[in-house]
Amino acid sequence: MGFKMGIVGLPNVGKSTLFNALTRTAAAQAANFPFCTIEPNVGEVAVPDARLDRLAAIASSKQIIPTRMTFVDIAGLVKGASKGEGLGNQFLANIREVDAIAHVLRCFEDGDVTHVEGRVDPVADADTIETELMLADLESIEKRRANLVRKLKGNDKEAQQQDRLLAAAQAALEDGRPARTVEVDAEDARAWKGLQLLTTKPVLYVCNVAEDESATGNAHSARVAEMAAAQGNAHVIISARIEEEISQLETDEAEMFLSEMGLEEPGLDRLIRAGYELLQLETYFTVGPKEARAWTIRQGTSAPQAAGVIHGDFEKGFIRAETIAFDDFVALGGEQGAKEAGKMRAEGKSYVVKDGDVLHFLFNT
């Protein structure tokens, strides 16, 4: 499984430039992994992971298949979107379908690029979108609670749980806090997720800075970093223009360009990794002569659940997982060396997969 991140932002903040860079990068990777542009505003990009290349080299794998991440370029938002202004309804519907929000904020000064509010203030921009999402959630909650009245009178337990959770979200929102600030018990986690409230989505702030500030950031991005830390959200600093230029260069040229800009890697790589951390995702690998492949799972995933990411039958018929830690696989020269050194473990149904594990599943058909 990969995950879906929606790119949002006010007009003229660099959102489309960033998305174009992502989709060009994805198109360039098409020879290395299955790629398709599902719609004009949806694209998939490989998740960068140097470990996969090392494993493939050791195992002499013919094919390398990275795990993938989907980006959705969500229609530009304006104040009043919660009431249907601009493309408000489409914007809100698209956000419900993503796992996380990458909120692009303008952190650059440029007199040639107008700002919808006539000023450069990324913190105020973030507040504009958060406010619209909160207003949309409040309206949705009020309607849904009204529709639950009849079931509540009949002591429907599911309706009681739903109403209790909606009430908690409503209280937070009326207090000026997004629904993600509500503490939810484990027994309510599934029902809470099922509410699909917009402000429960984790947020990654993308500070779009000028080209000469891409390595260091600026006063605007510093304010965003402070805001993100206070909220418990994440942030990355990127120059969308640089990313667009890099996406059109060959690998050697791109590396030289990055070096000249004082950057160690493309900002898109940092964006993807930050998204993974935000959603508490990790990677395990399957490795052999045919292919080396990365798979995305959530932290805390059991071995049978991890097997199910490959195929449902693997989870149903799970017997055990032959497991080698990434460091052991590399240090001992592959599967055979790990076996001989006693570093291959047979793990059962209760095993929680760790980031970097190299796994081979045994299952009943």
Checking if the pLDDT of 227 tops 50, the result is: yes
Contact 8, 15 (CB under 8 A): yes
pLDDT > 70 fraction of the chain, expressed in percent and rounded: 88
Cross-strand pairs, 286: 293
What integer is the mean pLDDT of 153-180?
94
* 221 annotated ligand binder: no
Query: Hey, what are 117's tokens?
Result: 């509010």
pLDDT the model gives residue 339: 95
Spatial separation of the C-alpha atoms in residues 26 and 36, rounded to whole Å: 9
Percent of the chain scoring above 90 in pLDDT: 53
* DSSP H stretches of helix in 175-235: 189-194, 219-231
Is pLDDT above 80 for 35? no
The answer to whether the beta carbons of residues 284 and 1 sit under 8 Å apart is no
15 is in an annotated binding site: yes
Say how many C-beta atoms besides its own lie within 10 A of residue 114's C-beta: 10
Q: What is the DSSP string of 299-328?
A: TT-BHHHHHHHH-HHHHHTEEEEEEE-HHH
Amino acid symbol at 283? T
Q: What is the pLDDT of residue 132?
A: 85
Give yes or no for residue 326 having a pLDDT over 90: yes
* C-alpha–C-alpha distance, residues 283 and 356, integer Å: 6
Mean pLDDT confidence for 68-76: 80
What pLDDT does residue 259 have? 85
Give the DSSP H or E segment for 177.
none
Which helix or strand (DSSP H or E) is residue 363 part of? strand 358-363
Q: Report pLDDT digits (tens) over 78-109.
A: 555 445 544 445 667 778 888 899 999 999 88
pLDDT tens string 101-142:
999 999 988 766 656 566 789 999 999 889 988 998 999 999
How big is the chain, counted in residues? 365
Cβ-proximal residues to 340 (8 Å cutoff; 6+ apart), any chain: 332
Q: Which of 162, 166, 189 is nearest to 179 (CA)?
A: 166
Q: Which residue has the tokens 């050791």?
A: 58
Q: pLDDT averaged over the chain?
A: 86
Q: What is the mean pLDDT of residues 313-333?
A: 96
Of residues 260 and 90, the one with the higher pLDDT is 260
Nearest CA to 28 among 245, 250, 242?
A: 250
The partner residues of 360 in beta bridges, in order of sequence, read 322
Among 286, 308, 288, smallest CA distance to 297 is for 308
Mark 241-264 as b/e (b = at least 16 C-beta within 10 Å).
bbbbbbbeeeeeebbeebeeeebe
Tell me what the mean pLDDT of segment 273-296 comes to. 92
> Strand 318-324 and strand 345-347: pairing?
antiparallel
First to last CA, the chain: 22
The response to whether 16 counts as a known ligand-binding position is: yes
For residue 350, what are the CA distances in angstroms to 321, 328, 332, 365? 11, 22, 27, 20
Of the two residues 37 and 104, the one the predictor is more confident about is 104
User: pTM to 2 decimals?
Assistant: 0.81
Contact of 98 with 107, CB cutoff 8 Å = no
Q: Are 279 and 99 in contact (CB under 8 A)?
A: yes
Three-class DSSP category at 44: strand
For residue 89 the two structure tokens come to 């309804």
Write down all domains in the chain, each with its CATH number in brackets. Answer: 3-278 (3.40.50.300), 300-363 (3.10.20.30)
The answer on pLDDT for 28 being more than 50 is no
pLDDT band at 37 (very low <50, low <70, confident <90, very high): very low
Residue 123 contacts residue 227 (beta carbons within 8 Å): yes
